[in-house]
Structure 1
Amino acid sequence: MTTTPPTEYVDQADGGFGSARTVETRPARADVPAELAERFVLVAVLSRAERPAEAVVLRVRDLTARHGATGMPLVLKYYHRLHAPSPDVEHELLDLGARPAPHLERLLETGRAHGHPWHLYWSHGEETLERYHADHPDGLPPTAVKSLVAQLWTALTALHGRGVVHRDVTPDNIMVQTRRADTADLVLVDFGAAVHRPDEALEPRTDWRGKPLYLAPEAGLLRQSVSEAGDWWSVGMVVAQLALGSHPITFRRDEEVLAEIATHDPDVGGIEDRRTRLLCEGLLTRAREHRWGAEQVRDWLAGQDPDVAVRSGEAMTPADADSRPVISPFPFMGQEFTGTDRLAVHLDHNHLSAARMLAADADRARLVEWLGQFETVGNRSPEELDRLAALRTELARPPTAAVLVRLLNWLGPGLDATWHGVALDAHGMRLLCQGAREGNADAVALVAHLVNHPAILTGLAQRPGGQGLDETDRAWRVLRARWEPTVQEIATGRTRTVRAALKHTPAVDAWLLQLAREPERTRGRLTDAALRERARFPERVPWYDALLAAPDDDPRLLAALLLTPHAAAEADGLRADRVEAEAVRLFDTDQDHLATVLRRLDRLPTLGWALLGATVVTAPWTFVTGLADVLGRASQEGVITAWLLELPSAAIVFAAELWTAVYIGPLLYHPRHSLAGLLIRSAERPARLTRSRGRLGLFVAAALLLLAVLLAFYAIDAAPWIWPLTSAVAVAAWSVRRCLARRRTRRAHRTRRTDARRPLTTPGRTGEQA
């Protein structure tokens, strides 16, 4: 009958669903929980839990036979822990079940499975009053209606006598146990929404619950009033539906239904039986203090006619009806309106048609004329009449958004704060902003409309549910003005992708609007989301941490959320660099260890090459000096000097070459840096020169060889001591040069390894990665 499920909740603390209420933690939603599987056998699934607020309703058999034979069908209801009847309600229902009350569902046992409560009830069949009513589309006869009312009166008086308010008396919560011609035996079931209210003076307000088609006017608010009178209103709606054959309210959208019952008495004039119509009028009185209760219904069942309070829009006497002024209807979208509240609802919900109507001079003139009727109707205050006169003057031209707000406020001052049919209370604003962030075209258009017309939120602040909208609008404009400077500061030096991520889009406006409407809650949600994402980063990103370091700076906090993907990509890049650097370090370490092993293995061959080179250099000295002495061409002093220099020069050559071999080490010393390698390469060059240059190369090689022979003879003849001295000096100088080159190579290699091991701090990397 309505789009709202019977187990829908709205939490007052945060203006909507709490996160715990929306998380399904029950292990079974259409089966017996595992902890109860050894005791109960599933027979049929009566109701599957599609959302946490709904109970799992199963028909089962109890293998332990605690409440009768094992074949007896029972009903197992498995609740979410935050959507179960309170312990006080459980206690009263168990007490009622111990001494079965007629026409009330009998609770046999309660318990918990996997942390969630369950109830065990007698089974009362599968047919609901809604199905029973479908078999009587033309309505039930008065005798059948009276029988059903008597049974409901017995059930509710027993329930109310224990301080329990059912809150959800609807045809699908009334089971038809047996049929007898046009009458039936009824059982009231489903206490999931019940509230324990032992103190008659206490009128608690609790989470929203119920079906709008059966809710009392005072229960249609975001924060419901709970009283027995609400149950009796629901009984009146059920009786009117049974008597008429259809529900007295023709609307089906929840918003329209709630607006209708808040502003108009249900039309029960179509009920032909006078006493049945009297019962419905008494139960469907919108003023709770004048509504019939258990006492009046008991008197009605006894054949009496209790008094009915005056219903709005109705007269008690023909004289009153004749003297009541007649309101000419105003046509809009094929309907005619005499009440201001209904017109306000339709103008708001059908804003495009309303805009076309208000843009037409003729239609606007008819509206002004229609509004003029209320200057003498309704006993309005002077202030209200002054606002009406101002509105009629302003409607001489197409109205601005501010004028349209004032028009709707005057037409429906008691209606909830809505714009274009969207509720602008905390919960509704949250859904609007979520839709805009998800790209919903209507939500995006509405947010843009609110941006362009600041008078809307300011004007709606005086409507129910709109408290604080004026402050919301001011805070929103401040946040929007701060966004661009914040983006400029954050994006300076960053890449184009960062600036694109922080672009002022409708999603940004939606976030800022939600921050303005619910700053503490939204700020906490943004911070929690950003911190959860940061906890997944493989590496810390300094600039992202800096954005989160200012929790009270809402634009920076929102920027952090928008840049989370970029920060995550940069963190991944930092981790990849660190892994690569660690791999290089490990490779270098392995190479060092391998080189150390190879050095140890190759140390003797390396020293052998050093000795070979030194020997090749020093061996000719003795021959040269001896030849100079034998030939007698050199002076005796020169020969003696040569013999004296040979020993220290040889020591210098061997010491220098061995030291160089040890300092440079194996693998690198020979053949590139060794003396032996130099001599081998030098010996190869004349041959390569001869082979590469042909005849010219041969002549050059012969000339060089002749020059070498002449120089050797000169050295032998003139100064034999030059050979050892020059060789020793040359080898020593070259050893120094080789050691210094090796030292520079080691230092550069050590620097590279140190850089690889250093922690990665890459301020420039932010722009590259982002």
Structure 2
Amino acid sequence: MAEVEEPGNGGAPTRRDPGVTRRDANVPPPRDPRATRRDAGAAPGGALLRLPDALAGRFGLVAELPVQGAESDLLLVRDERGGEFVVKLFRRGYHADREVWEKLPALDSPHVLRIVETGHADGRDYEIAEYAPEGNLRSLMAGPLPAETVTEAAAQLAAGLRALHGAGIVHRDLKPENVLVLSADPLRLVIADFGLSRVLEQSVVFASASRTLAYAAPESLSGQVSPARDWWSLGMIVRELATGRPPFAGLSETAVVDHLATRPVGADDVPDPRVRLLAQGLLARDPRRRWSAEQVGQWLDGGSPAVARDAARPEAPPGAGLPFRGRRYQDRAELARALVEEWDHAALYFFGRGESGEAWRSLRDWLAEQPDDSRIALVDGHLTAKLRPDVKLLHLVRWLDPTLPPHHLGRRVLPEDLPGLAALAGEPGHADHRTACLLGRALWDDRLLKVLAGFEGGEQLARIDDQWRSHVTAWNELVSWLRSQDAVPPGLAARLPSAGGDEVRVAGPSDDPPVLLLTLLALAAEPARTRQRIAAAAERARASVTEPVAWFAWLAEGAGDDPLRQLALTRAAPEAVLEVEARHRDRQAAARRSEALRARWAERERARLAGRRAAVVRAAAWSLPILAFWLAGSWMVDAMFSPSGDGTSRVGGFQRSGGVPFVTLAAFSALAWAVQCGAEVLVARVQGRDYLPYGPWSWLSRLLGATGQSLSKASRTMSGAARRTGRRGCGVFLLLGVVPLLLVLLLVSMMTAVAGLLWLLLLVATPAAHAAGAGVRLHRWRRAHEEAERKALA
């Protein structure tokens, strides 16, 4: 790094990465603050701080990171090339160790965060470091990690500490939040945040006791600074990675200080023996006998360096104290913490076999030796009563050390811890799901919140218990009323269970797991925040129902701002969604059925229309006798009534004058046949295969012997209505009207001088009647066809 003076910063020397150049005015736009987190996401709403003038010209501010320390603020910035960095701005009154700054550039370790630039601007020290988007080590500590992962993390952190100590730098504040994750798979860790680091010219010096207490070594209480401090912190990190439990969880600062000053931190709960050996070596109370880089290196190579036995506290005489988990306890507070850490085992060990158990007798004998007379009330009122083992253990722990935070089933139960139980109960896959369910049931069934109120910090639990039971009563009354309404569907009852114990669950479905019960507990513990969450969930429930559902709309209108009614609305929403989905499925099924019916009808229509050609041929062929009839009639009229040479004609001995030439009669005959044939061809083309095999001439069909049906049935068949309507056709009326008329006219024509004219009239009237009849037949067929289509597609 080159050392230059930056104008405007008081002439203070600033070390700058040579690769960083002053940016131009076109600064990349800030990205979404939620996507710029270091471990938990950037603070919403944008940064409240600003960059010093010396940095604002070269970097664009992206977000203010929420991981703030007591001595500094962290800002995510971006340079003109799009590279992202973290600017650490020391608060006024805090200054970085200049000797540390001088040595940081010389560090060449992949497990120590690279500091790009350090300096002083606008009255504040600052550091610019590379950005680790994966967050810090805390993000990987949701539960116990495999021994291989713990070993790999320990090896990388040990390498980083060796590099720091080799440069004479003691970190002094090593904790998971100060270990950044460059990559989770494969694991790549770097040590960061050197705000409290010191350069040591001797092996041990004394300084201010600034530290994160849970990871601080015992000697840090007196301000002693040495490399051994960082190795202790590494041991605490290794222990937490292996067990999944943070050190001193739930203990007050006073209790932690007392523990560090008087007692060792055990590693017996580390499951893997090799990792347990590493933790024991690093957590030796005597810094002179604590493992350092040499012993850790031997352990990484497969060795087993010696572990110093902690002699800070004298061993209890053989046979003295209460035996538990391989140790004997004399101190009540120490025993209480051990019971809390091993809750499940302790409850069964001391109370699982009742008063016949050997462990119970040992406990009772030990209690008898205690000078506190309240032990009698403890034994007679709780430990020998008909209570569950966990409840007995709770009363015992409270008697042993009421200064502890309230715990039950090994879990801390402060008011701020209660809202999270509902979320855990609603996640069956979570490691703490079963514990949360058991804890919620126990708090309700055994009224334990009033017992837990006797611990330090639990004073509000009694009030919360009263409010909780009030909410449960109101909820049960509400859902009982809702289930009795006719408007709601039957399936809704299962989604609105009664809350509470067996005495109320008999009235409705079971709340198992007790998500509802614990939601009401959250409402009692954090009313304002839980109301907001329930209201937001109710809005999402309304939005999830995409179609009108009458009963759900009725329920939504009545919810108002009542959290219990909004909760009922939220739980009822899935039933409404199922109803909407069922409607959608029904519509899809109806559409598929309709499509199938339409396809069958279309296939039927294609078959009908495919018979057009045959029907047309049949209609034309069966109309040929009509042409023959008209021509024969015209010939007869001409032969019988044609004029002689003198212009007269003879009929039956009578002589008549005038007549119509045969050519004219033949022309009219052809024209009449064309009209009749055209009418039948039109009907045949429209009806297709539905056109009658024999056309409208059932009388001719009978003469030919094609059918044995009656004249009425043939005429109905001719009209095309018999198949669908059962009505009589028009063909019989046509025949009854035309044939007698034809005979009468023919007879009259034989006896009158105007026979030709009458025949011409017949040639005109008959085709017209035929065409009209064809039109009637076609109309009736179309009506029957439409009715058939309606029925086929219904």
TM-score range (shorter-chain normalised) is 0.3 to 0.5
Higher helix share: 1
Relative to the length of structure 2, the TM-score reads 0.45
- How high is the TM-score relative to the length of structure 1? 0.46
Task: Point out the structure with max Rg over C-alpha.
Answer: 2
